[in-house]
Amino acid sequence: MDAYRGGGTPSAEELAALANVPEAGAPDGLLPALHALNDRVGWISRPGLDEVTRRLGLAPAVAFGVASFYAMLSTTPRPPTVAYMCDDVPCRLGGAVDRISGLEAELGPPRTPRGDAVWERSPCLGLCDLAPAALVDGRAVRVSDGRSVTAALAEAVARRRRLGGPPPAGAPPRPHVGASGAAPLLRRVLDGVDPLDIDAYAAHGGWVALRRALRLGPEGVLAELTASRLTGRGGAAFPTATKWEAVARHPVRPHYVVVNADESESGTFKDRVLLEWDPYAVLEATAIAAYTCGAERAFVYVRGEYRHAAERLAHAIAEAEHRGLLGDHVLGSDVRVSVELRRGAGAYICGEETALLNSIEGKRGEPRSKPPFPVQVGLFGRPTVINNVETLACVPVILTEGVDRFRALGTAESPGTKLFSLSGHVARPGVYEVASGTPLRALVEELGGGVPRGRALRAIQCGGAAATFLTPRDLDLPLSFEGLRARGATVGSGAVVVLDETADLRDVILRGAQFFAHESCGQCVPCRIGTQRQVELLEREARGEDVTGLLAEVALAMKDASICGLGQTAASMVQSAFTELGLR
């Protein structure tokens, strides 16, 4: 806080960073302005913050509350070139602990400046297919040894000097993708269609769905969506048509559409692949959602770590506007849809829909109490549809391939295909598209190549950080919402993390618990204190104490009394580890 006492004037560098922040700007310009400072200078100084608050008409305390909320923003002096080294479960299974020790030996503890560069530990970066992974000045890096991060940092510093500012992230590493049958969501990625080329997108089925939507009209689209029985892919499996209809028919205006591209659940990177490798499909789906729900403005909120994705989306938005596919006359009609890109800044909780809305509005990313739900009181207090990237990507498939074909691709309760992010002890980590109901075994053994080096499978964490552990006995479970639910598990975020017999299960569980303690927004006591107590109890348990009763009590309080899904589910992984894996 010392850095926040004095007055002073912003430096030339800070003023240059704020060149695009208008005088009398709106409060929702706060996060982009803080990003601009942080990205260029490395941190947000008091004079820099004061300049932002002056232009946006905000109280400095409010802006400081926001700046200090997000892990990627620094309110203490820090060099501008940052390497984030992932310290989460799939990367630990890939050797992150050793790589981090190597890095520490070479560069000193995290946050120790070395010239213009610094490194930090990070929760999952959404790069688990590169495990162990790092993000160096916005670029995804597979860490083959401690040195590769150091080399990437040195290159990044040189690049910044050359460009005189934050360099673009450029092309991301090509992901490993696959499918077990029809792959309507990954088809263009599998075919290697150039994700930057709008003509290539059109030549491979692009904009057909948007044209059809405009012909059908909002009611026609809603009828097809209802018949498709599409459910949300963001974790809650909520019927998509119900949400769209609630907003479309809501008398209060304006309406908004928000794309949830925050994807910060440990082990999850499926949306990243769609955003980076098929960005026009995400935009086309967003335009259809906006048109159907009567919204003229849509926002895509991309997690701060996804710089490659944000750049590709920004390019796609500019191209689509230029070609009249977005803007004041979508496809030459009277329909108006603009899509704006917003970047998160390192906060898993901002994936929770109401926290995300607060974040866009320029507030701390803390969840709101529900009800009211976003369809009633959403972005800027207006009716808002918020959907996951993959959910939206299903909509053009429904409109082009037809409702019957879409439903035939999955089970009666889980129509369509589903993307899974496969990582951990598996031969081919990557993103796989399977028809809903496909056995878990097909994903892990056939598509993922199974557990390598002749080792035995010990457990599978299915659904995300809060998810249930499955065992080898569960390999024939159908990957559908109802199939997993019947086993007490969940599709969740679509993360599937494979653990072989060498995995240190206590480390996996402790790291999972630390993730929640780190990511709790701290707004409500059961979660803020409960996630911390859970970590402490697991540490005591590792020393041989029997803390089962206390853990159960903490779990009950968190589940019953937390405001949002983070606190409500943060204990379930630990409980599941004890019951399913016999740890104790």
Positions in the binding site for ligand FMN (CB under 6 A): 232-236, 238, 260, 262-265, 349, 351-353, 386-388, 391, 564-566
The answer to whether 520 and 453 have CB atoms below 8 angstroms apart is no
The separation between CA 178 and the C-alpha centre of its own chain, rounded to angstroms, equals 21
How crowded is the C-beta side of 387, counted as CA atoms within 13 Å? 32
265 binds, among ligand FES, ligand SF4, ligand FMN, none (CB under 5 to 8 A by kind): ligand FMN
Cβ proximity to ligand FES, 365 vs 429, nearer residue: 429
Residue linked to tokens 């990177």: 269
Ranges within 496-555 binding ligand FES (CB under 6 A): none
Site of tokens 């000097």: 161
149 touches ligand SF4 by CB under 6 A: no
- Please pick, from the candidates 34, 261, 403, 527, the single residue that binds ligand SF4 as defined by CB under 6 A: 527
* Residue 431 Cβ vs ligand FES, minimum distance, rounded to whole Å: 13
Least distance from C-beta 530 to ligand SF4, angstroms? 8
**Burial, 423: exposed, middle or buried (Cβ in 10 Å; 0-12, 13-18, 19+)?**
buried
Is residue 523 part of the contact set for ligand SF4 (CB under 6 A)? yes
Cα–Cα separations (whole angstroms), residue 153 to 13, 132, 495 = 21, 16, 29
Q: Whose structure tokens read 């794309």? A: 259
What does the per-residue mask of binding to ligand SF4 show for 81-110, with x meaning CB under 6 A?
A: ------------------------------
Look up tokens 């065992």; give the residue: 471
- Interface with ligand FES (CB under 6 A), residue total 13
74 binds, among ligand FES, ligand SF4, ligand FMN, none (CB under 5 to 8 A by kind): none
If phi over 0 gives left and psi between -120 and 50 gives alpha, with beta otherwise, what is residue 334? alpha
Which partner, ligand SF4, ligand FMN, ligand FES, none, binds residue 131 by CB below 5 to 8 Å per kind? ligand FES
263 binds, among ligand FES, ligand SF4, ligand FMN, none (CB under 5 to 8 A by kind): ligand FMN
Element (H, E) at 177: strand 177-179
Shortest Cβ distance from residue 205 to ligand FES (Å)? 31
Residue 533 Cβ, how far from ligand SF4 at the closest point, in Å?
13
Q: What distances in angstroms separate CA 214 from CA 249, 284, 287, 288, 353, one per listed residue?
A: 18, 12, 10, 8, 28
Residue (14 or 352) nearer to ligand SF4, CB:
352
For residues 406 and 397, the answer to whether their CB atoms sit within 8 Å is: yes
Residue 358 makes contact with ligand SF4 by CB under 6 A: no
Q: How many CB atoms lie within 10 A of CB 501?
A: 11
Q: What is the DSSP string of 356-400?
A: HHHHHTTS---PPPSSSPTTTS-GGGS-EEEEEHHHHHHHHHHHH
Q: What residues from 104 to 133 belong to the interface with ligand FES (CB under 6 A)?
A: 124-128, 131, 133
For ligand FES, the binding residues (CB under 6 A) are 86, 88-91, 124-128, 131, 133, 266
Q: Which residues bind ligand SF4 (CB under 6 A)?
A: 349, 367, 520-524, 527-528, 562-564, 566-567
